[in-house]
Amino acid sequence: MRIATGSDHAGLALKSGLVEYLESLDHTVTDHGTHGPESCDYPDFAAKVASAVASGEVDFGLLLCGTGVGMAITANKCAGIRAAVVSDPFSARATRQHNNANVLCMGERVVGLGLAREILAAWLDAEYEGGRHQRRIDKITALER
């Protein structure tokens, strides 16, 4: 899969660990930064990743910050984006199966690398189920207009 990723300074270490994990599984990762430990603003990176997902350039987005929350708030401002903050594998699976989420957000101050890898694996393995869920997604999409 093609995955765009981004983090602020507070999610940088988690991003590095997850990029390594994704590449070990042969996924293609585009890293939109940040690349250093200096303090920076999470909306700058969320906007880049959200736009790569919304344009169809990549299949999914992966955003990391201290909590994952600021990234999700920002990414969800972009039409076509369904970003979810997740801290357990059950929710990761459900956000794909039911919500057809296309951006996964996690917080480095919330989950460790081991759990984050499990969350990401659950997310990548799950598939959108369509059916009754599509009616609900259509109602979310209608709010964008």
Q: Is 65 a catalytic residue?
A: yes
In the complex, the smallest distance separating the C-beta of residue 125 from ligand RB5, rounded to whole angstroms, is: 27
Buried b (16+ CB within 10 A) or exposed e, 6-33: bbbbbbbebbbbbbebbeeeebebbbbb
Q: Is 9 a catalytic residue?
A: no
In the complex, the smallest distance separating the C-beta of residue 61 from ligand RB5, rounded to whole angstroms, is: 16
Q: Choose, from 65, 78, 105, 133, the residue flagged as catalytic.
A: 65
Name the residue whose CB lies closest to ligand RB5: 70
Q: Choose, from 9, 27, 40, 98, the residue flagged as catalytic.
A: 98
What is the C-alpha separation between 42 and 34, in angstroms, rounded?
Answer: 9
- Write out the residues near ligand RB5 by the rule CB under 6 A: 8, 10, 42, 65-67, 69-70
What is the C-alpha separation between 81 and 53, in angstroms, rounded?
Answer: 7
In the complex, the smallest distance separating the C-beta of residue 7 from ligand RB5, rounded to whole angstroms, is: 8
Q: Which residues are catalytic?
A: 65, 98
